[in-house]
Amino acid sequence: MSAGSARDLLEIARGVAAMAGPGEQVEAYVLRSSETDVKVFDGAVESLAVAEVDGVGVRLLLDQRQGYAWAGSLDPDVVAETVAEARDNAGFGSRDESLGLPDRADVDAVIAPELDLWREALLAVSAGEKVALALEVEAATRAADARVRGVESASYGDGAVEVAVASSLGIEATTRRTMCSVASFAMAGEGDETQTGYGFSVGRTFADLDVAAAARDAAERSTRLLGARQPASRRLPVILDPLVTRSLLGLLGAALSGEAVLKGRSMFVGRDGEEVAATNVTLVDDPTLVEAYGAATHDGEGVPTRRVDLILDGRLQGFLHNVYTARRSGARTTGSAVRGFKSTPAVGARALHLRPGPKSPDAILAAVPEALYVQSVSGLHSGTDPVSGDFSVGAEGLMVRDGELAEPVREITIASTLQRMLLDVVEVGNDLTWLPGGSAGVTLLLSDMTMSGV
Amino acid sequence: MIEESVLSRTLHRALARGGDFAEVFAEDRRSSSATFDDGKVEELRSGRERGAGVRVVRGETTGYAHTADLSESGLGEAAEAAAAAASSGAPGATIVPLTRRAARAPHDVKVLPEGVEKARKVDLLTRADEAARAEGDAVRQVTASYADGRRRILVANSDGLLTEDDQVRTRFMVSCVAVGDTGMQTGMEAPGYTVGFEYFDEHAPEDIAQIAAARALSKLNARPAPSGKVPVVLKRGAGGVLFHEACGHGLEADLVGRDASVFRGRVGERVASPLVTLVDDGGLAREWGAYAIDDEGAPAQRNVLIKDGVLTDYMWDLVRGRKQGRASTGNGRRETYQHLPMVRMTNTFLETGEDDPEDIIRQTPYGLYCVALGGGQVNTATGDFVFGITEAYMIEDGQITEPVRAAQLIGNGPETLLGVDAVGRDFDTWAGTCGKDGQGVPVSSGQPTLRIRELTVGGTAA
């Protein structure tokens, strides 16, 4: 990993912006990332991969038409070719009055937060130390419980990402962040039965990682499913593990993007200002929170990020926007452009979370006579439809009886609609947990879902 | 892409600190795509990526590094980084002089998409939009997209292999939203093939648009899917992904080797109904997962995984094969030069049977008829899998009756394979992207119309 300062990237981005011809708007998004990925198996290193990726994405507008080109190289000749290709592509786009790069008014509307998301200390960690940590989590997972018969995969990964954006309208921004994680996937059981469980720990730097917690979670989540059976189909209350809630919020975030709404691809179309959830539901995207792993000072168009209230006490407040979706909707960008260098700016949440409620997960559990505790779900993208709201996913977990976790269950699906689920929220836990990705986890109790089994 | 002498010297540097095997994988990718939404061409996008990865294997450990700099010094630095990652200090393997081996492409590309005028690509989108909207006023939103990609790869390794491939893929996608009294429904169709622009000689944008629109419209009247166990008939093509999930992943040698597959140690045993013969064939011409060589230079080949219900073999890549003293089956793939290869499926399909597809439906008193699927997921260690149905109908008294809303199906791989009780004589395939360990690669899956005795359907109806 090289010591980072995005200054050199900004110089490249400025160079691209300066290539704008008469009447053209040009924006460059320049990225450099370095990553390490360690996988271990059975006490030995399976693979150690080191990666450095550079890339540039060029957006060019002329006469209200847009073209895009990208390249996985910052070589000056390649960058120049990429600008030429974007220029050529612009001729084939449709005229659209809402197209355009952010202007000063977009950028000056809020002051960018000051966030320290870069840890030089992570760059100084040797490959040997990273390997040792991955081996440690594997060994700790095996040692955590005699019923763990193997670890399907144990890994360490880290990344340092630097980005610079510059445009011919004078907009400039640089961001950089580091992140690392350690993960273990445990297999428990003997003979015919196997159950699996996932555990991990994330941080901005190496010292943040909690190997013991990752190993303990993986072991506990796999062993507590031993003996799981397929239960009979019925309707019942459901408690979602924070990891499951995180995935659910991801789906909601996609449906709350101004892009999905403009394109008619969201169940929230036309529901602005309406009651869409139970009154204890307040949903916020706030990338200015330093503890969120998706925190950022600026979005993918160089616009400062800010707190955006999406649902307040059950009422829909509005949507996330980038510059284009905002202009088409007659709104202002919310600094929610998300992208890599291979694509034009889309719209997405970075730090989506529910306002925590008063009760601990244990207190929520204790108050429920019978429910399903969902530990993990599968098929989230194939089984949910953000347009119709239909929701049906595979699940595994434990039954809750008289306020306590009881027998494990597997090979079930849970189904409802996203609209219904928001209205069915009975409790939001007090255990807000920041996780990688654009949304945070929290324990959630929903009053009614259909569980399909035998 | 890179001179032979440079490749040889890079391999020497890669093994200078020890190791059993070294490889240079170089890739040059170009792509173009365009999306039409809400009556407008959003923009035409082009991309270019070029680079090489160097892999050094020593014992159980693999070191990997990559670079976008294909000069001798760039490759040398990657070689040294990979060597350091796999470092041991012991003397390395001998390097066999490189011998160029020609690879036979499964399909001769007739029209390279990069030579086609951009205006022609954009024009396809307008045609699809008009056709979808002509299906009815209830069709409110139409998104059409065009994508082509060309990927040239080169593999050179310390066993003396030097080989190249040129892979061209083209795909067209239409997605519609229909609005009715019961809310909004979506429909999508996205056929993809390893062919050039001649794709459009056989697939008209209008036809793809009509299928997508009809799918969204039919669901407007859909009732909630049932909840619980029901017999399931999968229309040809629609259900290949079920076999991809239910057993394909569990037959990948890397997962088997980690004891993370329910099919471990079962070669030679009866694992499926005698009606089931499952094949993975990277050489299947035109299919989305086809190529001449895999990303380790092994030629694509036809691999019979299950023959008449008996497990015959797993899928192998080079590293897992070497450990067992056997050859790769041509299943070593990677998303880009930035990734390490692993065992992956290509075009995975169930062979045809003898039943008349219409008879299969007629002989089903009650069940679910699945016409389109939205992908799935499996836990290979437990065998439990899910997949989403995006277009399905009830079968009542041997007749297809009402459409049902989207739902998830869940089952256990080994149990599902044993539960196949009718296999038709028709056949079709479906293109998708398979994800594993964060890497996505193009695959297809296919099957004849068939019936599974029972699967759990995750609807909301009692």
Nearest C-alpha in B relative to A95: B40
CA distance A78 to A55: 10
Is the pLDDT score of B252 beyond 70? Answer: yes
Q: What b/e sequence results for B446-457 when a residue is b if at least 16 CB atoms lie within 10 Å of its CB, and e otherwise? A: bbbbbbbbbbbb
Q: What is the pLDDT of residue A437?
A: 85
Q: What is the pLDDT of residue A198?
A: 95
Residues 104-123 of B with CB under 8 A from A: 118-119, 122
Confidence of residue B106 (pLDDT cuts 50, 70, 90): confident
Confidence of residue B96 (pLDDT cuts 50, 70, 90): confident
Coil, strand or helix at B30: strand
Dmax over CA atoms of chain B, in Å, equals 74
CA distance B352 to B348: 13
Domain(s) labelled CATH 3.30.2290.10 in chain A stretch across 7-223
Q: How far is CA A387 from the centre of its chain?
A: 20
Q: How far is B354 from chain A (nearest CA, A)?
A: 31
Q: What would the CATH number be for the domain defined by A7-223? A: 3.30.2290.10
Q: Report the interhelical angle of A127-144 vs A211-223 (nearest 10°).
A: 40
Q: How far is B368 from chain A (nearest CA, A)?
A: 15
What the block records as the tokens of A305 is 């990020």
Instruction: Give B114-170 pLDDT, tens digit per residue.
Output: 999 999 999 999 999 999 999 999 999 999 999 999 999 999 999 999 999 999 999
Q: Do B406 and A388 touch (CB under 8 A)?
A: yes
CA distance A7 to A164: 8
Is the pLDDT score of B95 beyond 90? Answer: no
Q: What is the pLDDT of residue A1?
A: 36
Q: How far is B110 from chain A (nearest CA, A)?
A: 24
Q: Do B38 and A263 touch (CB under 8 A)?
A: yes
Q: From the list B43, B185, B228, which residue is nearest A67 (CB)?
A: B43
Q: Does any CB of chain A come closer than 8 Å to the CB of residue B204? A: no
CA distance A47 to A38: 6
Confidence of residue B90 (pLDDT cuts 50, 70, 90): low
Is the pLDDT score of B311 beyond 50? Answer: yes
Of residues B106 and A222, more confidently modeled = A222
Q: What is the arithmetic mean of pLDDT over B49-72?
A: 93
Residues of chain B with C-beta less than 8 angstroms from the C-beta of A267: 183-184
The radius of gyration of chain A from alpha carbons, rounded to an integer in Å, stands at 24
Q: What is the pLDDT of residue B462?
A: 61
Q: From the list B45, B46, B386, which residue is nearest A379 (CB)?
A: B386
Q: CA angle at residue B304 from B302 to B305, to 5 degrees?
A: 130
Main-chain dihedrals φ then ψ at residue A92, nearest 5 degrees: -100, -5
Question: Closest by alpha carbon to B240, among B231, B248, B232?
Answer: B248
The proportion of chain A whose per-residue pLDDT surpasses 90, expressed as a percent, equals 92
Is the pLDDT score of B308 beyond 60? Answer: yes
Which of B188, B252, B460 to mutate to probe the A interface, most A CBs <10 Å?
B460
CA distance B59 to A135: 17
The proportion of chain B whose per-residue pLDDT surpasses 70, expressed as a percent, equals 99
What separation in angstroms does the CA of B374 have from each of B242, B251, B379, B391?
Answer: 10, 22, 18, 9
Coil, strand or helix at A169: coil
CA distance B141 to B135: 12
Q: Residue A114 CB: number of other CB atoms within 10 A? A: 8
Residues of chain B with C-beta less than 8 angstroms from the C-beta of A47: 61-64, 340
The radius of gyration of chain B from alpha carbons, rounded to an integer in Å, stands at 24
Q: From the list A69, A93, A381, which residue is nearest B41 (CB)?
A: A93
- Asked if A173 contacts A165 with a C-beta cutoff of 8 angstroms, the reply is yes
Q: Which residues pair with A439 in a beta bridge?
A: A352
Q: What is the pLDDT of residue B88?
A: 58
Q: How far is A50 from chain B (nearest CA, A)?
A: 5
Q: How far is CA B291 from the centre of its chain?
A: 12
CA distance A197 to A174: 39
Q: What b/e sequence results for B67-106 when a residue is b if at least 16 CB atoms lie within 10 Å of its CB, and e otherwise? A: bbbbebebbbbbbbbbbebbbbeeebbebeebeeeebebb
Instruction: Give A306-346 pLDDT, tens digit per residue.
Output: 999 999 999 999 999 999 999 999 999 999 999 999 999 99
Nearest C-alpha in A relative to B320: A46
Residues of chain A with C-beta less than 8 angstroms from the C-beta of B62: 46-48
Confidence of residue B337 (pLDDT cuts 50, 70, 90): very high
Is the pLDDT score of A5 beyond 70? Answer: no
What the block records as the tokens of B18 is 């020890």
Q: Residue A330 CB: number of other CB atoms within 10 A? A: 7
Instruction: Give A272-305 pLDDT, tens digit per residue.
Output: 999 999 999 999 999 999 999 999 999 999 999 9
Instruction: Give B25-53 pLDDT, tens digit per residue.
Output: 999 999 999 999 988 999 899 999 999 99
Q: Which residues pair with B92 in a beta bridge?
A: B19
CA distance B379 to B246: 9
Confidence of residue B89 (pLDDT cuts 50, 70, 90): low
Q: From the list A92, A187, A388, which residue is nearest B381 (CB)?
A: A187
Main-chain dihedrals φ then ψ at residue B330, nearest 5 degrees: 80, 25
Which of B29, B373, B386 to mutate to probe the A interface, most A CBs <10 Å?
B386
DSSP for residue B222? P
Q: B440: which residues sit within 8 A by CB, 6+ positions away?
A: B335, B433, B434
Instruction: Give A122-175 pLDDT, tens digit per residue.
Output: 999 999 999 999 999 999 999 999 999 999 999 999 999 999 999 999 999 999
Q: How many CB pairs under 8 A join A and B?
A: 263
